[in-house]
Amino acid sequence: MDKKLKNFIFVLNCGSSSIKFAILNPDSKKTYLSGLVEYLFLPDTCITWKYLDKKYKQIIGSNINHKFALDFIIEKILLKQKDILKNIVGIGHRVVHGGIKIKKSVLIDENVLTHIQDAALFAPLHNPANLIGIKIVMEKYPILSKKNVAVFDTSFYKDMPETSFLYAIPYNFYEKYRIRRYGAHGISHNYVAREACTVLNKKFHSLNIITCHLGNGSSISGICNGVCVDTSMGFTPLEGLVMGTRSGDIDPSIIFFMHKQLNMSINEIEEVLTKKSGLLGLSGVSNDFRYFEKNYHLKKEAKRSVDIFCHRLAKYIAAYTSLMENRLDAVVFTGGIGENVPLVRKLTFSKLLLLGFKINSELNLSMIGGKSGLITEVYSRPVFVISTNEELLIAQETLNIIKT
């Protein structure tokens, strides 16, 4: 390790069923330690981590909760790296929803904790998990009592115009209950948009791009003159593209039909639309894109699911070109699917030839496994694959806040 490097940031991304963590240096962009706890509340909760290029994996128990997993991360991994520990200057927490009050990254105090708690109304799966991480770090580990910063996914959408964020329902639902589009995945869209500036040699404020974060959750954002002007996730992360287990857009009347004609309770409908729909629902087999890639030409349910996924995505990309004020600099693909599945990129852009997109097959096939680069012909509008790094953006934001 470079002993001269200081200003390490510990990043904690406490999700509903997983925890990501990292220690990195925002200035050098180097990650020293990174890890992931998966399968919380399930048999065989598993932790994998990488420290200075060495990889480790361990089952930490069964039905493990956030608190137990965080104790493991901090006591068994973090506190043992004394060299790094003494250089940590701040802790950056990913928080999905900033609610209506918090619009940018902030130093965490009692007031901020209350706002995050209140915003759980809009992100009931995510904000409570984010809060557990913050509270454990701040209250239980005074040794880590550095400055704690919350970095919000919703911040990226703070300047979205009301033409994008309002739903066409009676206006008082917005005024009284704040029902509107909030968006999600903002940290990832923001990160890849900033990376796109570097490859396109443009300043952020003059950037016109469409970013597609395609993973287990998927969303698309339109950025015009450096401002996010629309995004596909809405009041909650259920709206928009086809996802792993979420339906994305549907006619709301389907919900009335399920309730009135099929006698399903609201909880049952919510379960279907959030956990049993999307690629899993369409295929009846899986939500893992590796299955779809392998079986696209072999199984009709795999082909059907991927075709619907790409059809919806192409429709959104085409629609978002209307937000670009006469110039589209590039489209960016990121996320587990965006970064690893050439088939999705090929099928999606084959529907967008009219808009001047032409994928280069060789480049497309080569851009997998975390590689970033251009995948279109020279005469095409550019499409880039850019590997996302939410932890780095959280670390950069955290360092900025604690320096001010």
Annotated binding site for substrate: 94
Using the minimum distance from each CB to ligand AMP, give the nearer residue, 271 or 293.
293
Residue 288 touches ligand AMP, criterion: CB under 6 A: yes
Determine which one of 153, 230, 251, 307 is catalytic: 153
* Of 289, 309, 357, 384, the one binding ligand AMP by CB under 6 A: 289
Cα separation of 289 and 387, whole Å? 17
Min dist CB 129 to ligand AMP, Å, is: 16
The site for ligand AMP, by CB under 6 A, has a size of 12
Would residue 71 show up in a list of annotated catalytic residues for this protein? Answer: no
| Choices 86-94, 107-115, 174-182, 332-340; region in contact with ligand AMP by CB under 6 A | 332-340
Residue 337 touches ligand AMP, criterion: CB under 6 A: yes
Number of CB atoms found within 10 A of residue 61's CB: 14
| Choices 5-13, 270-278, 285-293, 317-325; region in contact with ligand AMP by CB under 6 A | 285-293
Helices and strands counted in the chain (H then E): 16, 14
Cα separation of 199 and 187, whole Å? 19
Reduced to 3 states (helix: H, G, I; strand: E, B; else coil), residue 333 is strand
Using the minimum distance from each CB to ligand AMP, give the nearer residue, 207 or 337.
337
Cα separation of 193 and 340, whole Å? 19
Reduced to 3 states (helix: H, G, I; strand: E, B; else coil), residue 168 is coil
Residue 244 touches ligand AMP, criterion: CB under 6 A: yes
List, in order, residues 6 or more apart from 390 with CB less than 8 Å away: 13, 94, 187, 188, 191
Using the minimum distance from each CB to ligand AMP, give the nearer residue, 137 or 341.
341
Residue 336 touches ligand AMP, criterion: CB under 6 A: yes
Residue 38 touches ligand AMP, criterion: CB under 6 A: no
The sheet with strand 227-231 has its strands ordered as 227-231, 218-224, 209-214, 330-334, 383-385, 373-374
Place of tokens 């049952």: 268
Using the minimum distance from each CB to ligand AMP, give the nearer residue, 133 or 237.
237
Chain residues in the site for ligand AMP (CB under 6 A): 215-216, 244, 288-290, 293, 335-337, 340-341
Catalytic machinery residues = 153
